[in-house]
Amino acid sequence: MRAVGMLIALAVAIGPAQAGTGTRAQTKPAVAASKGAAAGTALPTVLDPDVTKPGAFSWAPGIAPKGPVVIIVSIPEQRMHVYRNGTRIAVATISSGIAGRDTPSGSYEILQKQLMHHSNLYDDAPMPFMQRITWDGLALHAGYNPGRPASHGCIRLPKAFAEKLYGITRVGTRVIIADDLTASLDNLIHPGDQSPVDAMTGVPLPEVPAGQMPMLATAKPAKPKAAAVAADTADVPATTPAPTLAEASPVTTPVPAPEPPTRVPATATPAPGNAAPAPANPLPSGVPADPALQIQAPAKEPPPAAAPPAAT
228 pLDDT higher than 80? no
Spatial separation of the C-alpha atoms in residues 52 and 77, rounded to whole Å? 9
The yes-or-no verdict on residue 275 having pLDDT over 60 is no
Over 80: is that where the pLDDT of 169 sits? Answer: yes
C-alpha distances in Å from residue 247, one per residue of 55, 238, 242, 252: 69, 20, 9, 12
Whether residue 289 has pLDDT greater than 60: no
Does the pLDDT value for residue 2 go beyond 90? Answer: no
- In the chain, DSSP finds a helix count (H) and a strand count (E) of 5, 10
pLDDT for the residue numbered 14: 43
Q: Measuring CA to CA, how many Å separate 222 from each of 228, 229, 232?
A: 12, 13, 16
The domain spans of the chain are: 57-189
Query: How high does pLDDT run on average in the chain?
Result: 73
Residue 180, pLDDT score: 83
Quick one: average pLDDT of 8-22?
43
Q: Which fold has domain 57-189?
A: L,D-transpeptidase catalytic domain-like (2.40.440)
Highest mean pLDDT among 87-101, 185-199, 244-258: 87-101
Share of the chain above pLDDT 90, in %: 41
Q: DSSP of 193-249, one letter per residue?
A: SB-SB-TTT--B-TTSPP--------PPPPPPPHHHHHHHHHTSPPPPPPPPHHHHS
- Residue closest to 103 by CA, chosen among 157, 53, 52, 54: 157
Q: Rounded to an integer, what distance in angstroms lies between the CA atom of residue 245 and that of residue 242?
A: 9
Residue 59: CB partners within 8 Å, gap ≥ 6? 44, 47, 89, 90, 161, 164
Name the DSSP letter for residue 180.
G
Q: Rounded to whole angstroms, what are the CA distances from 200 to 126, 175, 204, 209? A: 31, 10, 11, 20
Please tell me which residue, 202 or 273, carries the higher pLDDT value: 202
* β-bridge mates for residue 106, sequence order: 177
Q: Length of the chain in residues, anyone?
A: 312
Can you tell me whether residue 262 is helix, strand or coil?
coil
Residue 91 sits at φ, ψ, to 5 deg, of -140, 140
pLDDT for position 127: 87
5-37 residues labelled b (16+ CB within 10 A) or e (exposed): eeeeeeeeeeeeeeeeeeeeeeeeeeeeeeeee
pLDDT band at 211 (very low <50, low <70, confident <90, very high): confident
pLDDT surpassing 90 at residue 93: yes
